[in-house]
Amino acid sequence: MAPLLQVENLKTQFFTQDGIVSAVNGISFDLTEGETLGIVGESGCGKSVSMLSIMRLIPQPPGRIVDGKVIFEGKDLLKLSDEDMRKVRGNRIAMIFQDPMTSLNPVLTIGLQISEALMLHLGMSRRGARTRSTELLDLVGIPDAGARLDDYPHQFSGGMRQRVMIAMGLSCNPQLLIADEPTTALDVTIQAQIIDLVKKLKADIGMAIIWITHDLGVVAGLADRVLVMYAGHIIESARVKDLYGDPRHPYTLGLLRSIPRLDEQRQARLTPIEGLPPDLINPPPGCPFAPRCPFVLDRCWAEMPHLEPAGTNGHISACWVDVTDGRDSTRAVPRRESLQFMRGEIAQK
């Protein structure tokens, strides 16, 4: 069976007065029907820009998708006309944005904003769309849903506004739902409620989900597979259990080392990843993680590694070093005994 979504060599750049910002650098991945894919990485790594590129929502200018294919249900979205893309966007592919307060129109009622997509894409009457909007608000857990249709966004709490955004995303029964850090601005209790809601809706509706986040804790309980991004590149891809149990890229190791744990037998200091992400206007010639990597080799400064098999179940990683023993074909020893430093406590846990 063909994948629901195939992204091939997607490249997006922003043309600014200071130079060309290479935000997405040739990423490729597949998504099957009903699968939940997590995309993780620190701010500025290209997660959101990648998804906005898929949706063709990159502002032009200054942005431009300069290369690649996005095959969805057999069609290349990058080659569709604007009119045809509008029929896909919000209908077959829906997106939940990070901040619902800036995504919802403050001068339109919630009921009108949900009904708009139903009337546009499904051809519903105003009355039918209003009835369906009530059902959707009830589905996502809004109390007294029918009475809230005539309320405005400012009359809802942050968690409720995010539920409204989810209702809007689900309104046309999309095949793919893209969630761009939808729980970042919420407290942990509401985060847990939203995640449980999405898991329940996925089980009921059977849609595929792409969940963008910088929180590896969220991904662990939600996703089937994870992509790790850094400086516009995918640097590791694996099923959730494989990524957490056997990480193969130094950046992934660093992310895992920086997560506080609840099952600590003793207190342990979190280990930050030293340094800063690279300048995307003048990226380094080799591996973009080399300046921060404790495993760095001479070849890392000159050659960008490609994604290669690094384990079972399709686990791939872009690194010259086998971090399980800290060596590559040159038999180089990692600096600062970083193998023990970065992997030791993970193995114990």
Tokens of 344: 């030791």
- State the pLDDT at residue 342: 46
Beta carbons within 8 Å of 244's beta carbon, 6+ residues apart = 216, 220, 256
Q: Round to whole Å and give the CA distance between 319 and 233.
A: 12
Taking the CA atoms of the chain, what radius of gyration do you get in angstroms? 22
What percent of the chain is modeled with pLDDT above 90?
38
- Band (348; pLDDT cuts 50, 70, 90): very low
In whole numbers, what is the pLDDT of the chain averaged over residues?
A: 84
**Residue 310 main-chain phi, psi, to 5 deg:** -135, 10
- Band (1; pLDDT cuts 50, 70, 90): low
- State the pLDDT at residue 158: 80
- pTM score: 0.85
- State the pLDDT at residue 337: 42
- Band (201; pLDDT cuts 50, 70, 90): confident
Task: Write the pLDDT tens digit of every residue in 265-278.
Answer: 556 677 788 888 88
What separation in angstroms does the CA of 101 have from each of 2, 72, 146, 184?
A: 37, 29, 21, 13
Cβ atoms within 10 A of the Cβ of 9, count?
A: 11
- Let me know: does 130 contact 112? Beta carbons within 8 Å: no
| Least confident interval from 24-28, 231-235, 297-301 | 297-301
Task: Write the pLDDT tens digit of every residue in 10-29.
Answer: 999 999 998 999 999 999 99
Task: Write the pLDDT tens digit of every residue in 315-345.
Answer: 999 998 887 765 553 444 444 444 444 444 4
Burial class for 299, CB neighbours closer than 10 Å (0-12, 13-18, 19+): middle
What percent of the chain is modeled with pLDDT above 70?
89
pLDDT greater than 50 at residue 298:
yes
